[in-house]
Each structure stands twice: as C-alpha cells, then as structure tokens.
C-alpha cells in the first residue's frame, strides 16, 4: 500500500513537526507520524548532508508520496533542488511542495514550476561561470598565478631541465626526481626546449 512521507528542515521538536503535519493535512495529505522526518538545517547545508532527508529517501518506494513545506527543504541551490526532484521521480514517487500548491513536481511530464527551476539553474550556472572568469581575469591582471600550483619549485624545474640538456632521458629524469614522465615533458615544453628526436626520451 502506498505511503505518504513528509520532510521538513525547519523544525526542532515533535511539537513543531505536528504543526507541519497539520498544514499537510489541510492540503489533503494525511501523514503517519512514523513517516515524518525532520531536522533543523540552515539552507546552506547541501541535501546530501541532511541525514534525515537521506533517511527518508531511502524508505520511499514506487507509488509513494513525498510532501515538503518549501523548496528549501529539497536543496541548498536550484541545481540541488532539481537533483532531489529527479531522485524522487526515479523512485517512482510523487513530490508535492506546499509552497507551490498541488502540483506533482516529480511527474513524468515536468510541470511549469520545474521548467522555471531549470531555467533558473541555467542562469545560476551562467552567472557562476561569469564570476569565475572575472575572478581569473582580475587575478591575472594583478600578476597572481591562476590554476593549479606547480608541483615543483623553480630550482627543481631548473635541475630537471639541466639534466635533460645534459642528455638524460625523460624516464631517467622522472625516476631521479621522483616524478612522472608527463611532468618532466610538461616542464620541458614549458621551457621552450626542443624535444629530442628519440621518441622514447
């Protein structure tokens, strides 16, 4: 027999959860207290780091219904919220957010609310990418290095180049300096030194 679950991340005790259950009942959802999951987590906590949410999702089965009070219960970002909606859909359950009214967010045909969330996620991703590009450009403009820090000091890179220039092979240099052939070849390429004709270097 299908079950109805309710989850909230904004209550601290059973009494507060009973108030949430009453709101769900008024919206047409009867939930057994044994299937009520709650915790008090700030919106910044990711859905994967909400133990009670994860515990509930592990119990949800095909044909069940999940009820939440607000979108903030489903994730800390728009993308996370969509991931949780998708997970409930994959479980074959219905998902209702009382903040949005009586619409099944996990239906096979995405409702308008989910389409809006997807558009917002695209915008959120584009803004994040733009901020990253702007930060990198600003760092470059003031001379700060960007990207991964080098694995070797300038002295170590100079020693590797000196060994290569003295005729040592890439493999031998990698062994001597406790690094990989790829790293030695990157150091050589970054210096502008020509690679030897021997492809096994």
Task: Tell me the pTM.
Answer: 0.61
Are 165 and 110 contained in the same domain?
no
> Does 160 map to a domain?
yes
Closest CA to 7 of 116, 95, 133: 95
Are 186 and 106 contained in the same domain?
no
Are 97 and 171 contained in the same domain?
no
pLDDT in tens, 138-187: 767 777 666 666 677 788 888 888 888 888 898 998 888 888 888 888 88
pLDDT in tens, 18-64: 888 888 999 999 888 889 999 998 878 899 999 999 999 999 999 99
Structurally, the chain folds into a number of domains equal to 2
Q: Which residues of 92-112 are buried (b: 16+ CB within 10 A; e: fewer)?
A: ebbbbbbebeeebbbeeebee
> Does 28 map to a domain?
yes
In what helix (H) or strand (E) does residue 118 lie, and over which residues does it extend? Answer: helix 112-141
pLDDT in tens, 99-149: 898 899 999 888 888 888 888 778 777 777 777 777 777 767 777 666 666
For the chain, the first-to-last Cα distance in angstroms comes to 69
Are 83 and 181 contained in the same domain?
no
Of 116, 136, 165, the one marking the end of a domain is 116
> Does 124 map to a domain?
no
pLDDT at 62: 96
Are 99 and 161 contained in the same domain?
no
> Does 179 map to a domain?
yes
Are 110 and 158 contained in the same domain?
no
Of 55, 86, 116, the one marking the end of a domain is 116
Range of the domain at 73: 4-116
pLDDT in tens, 16-30: 888 888 889 999 998
Are 15 and 76 contained in the same domain?
yes
> Does 122 map to a domain?
no
CB 29 within 8 A of CB 67: yes
> Does 55 map to a domain?
yes
> Does 76 map to a domain?
yes
Are 33 and 98 contained in the same domain?
yes
Of 116, 145, 178, the one marking the end of a domain is 116
Q: Which two tokens stand for residue 9?
A: 């991340």
pLDDT in tens, 76-103: 888 899 999 999 999 999 999 998 988 9
Average pLDDT of the residues in 3-9: 93
- The domain that holds 73 is classified in CATH as 3.40.50.1390
């Amino acid at each position: 027999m299908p079950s109805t679950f309710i989850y909230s991340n904004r209550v601290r005790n059973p009494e507060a959860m009973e108030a949430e259950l009453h709101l769900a009942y008024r919206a047409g959802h009867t939930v057994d207290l044994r299937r009520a999951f709650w915790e008090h987590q700030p919106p910044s906590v990711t859905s994967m780091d909400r133990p009670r949410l994860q515990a509930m999702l592990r119990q949800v089965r095909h044909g069940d219904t999940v009820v939440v009070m607000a979108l903030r219960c489903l994730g800390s970002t728009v993308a996370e919220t969509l991931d949780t909606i998708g997970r409930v859909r994959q479980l074959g359950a219905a998902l209702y957010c009382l903040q949005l009214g009586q619409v099944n967010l996990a239906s096979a045909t995405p409702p308008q609310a989910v389409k809006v969330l997807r558009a917002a996620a695209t915008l959120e991703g584009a803004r994040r990418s733009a901020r990253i590009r702007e930060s990198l450009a600003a760092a470059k403009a003031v001379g700060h290095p960007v990207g991964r820090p080098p694995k070797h000091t300038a002295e170590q890179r100079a020693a590797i180049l000196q060994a290569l220039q003295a005729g040592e092979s890439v493999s031998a240099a990698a062994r001597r300096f406790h690094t990989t052939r790829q790293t030695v070849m990157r150091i050589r390429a970054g210096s502008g030194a020509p690679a030897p004709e021997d492809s096994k270097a």
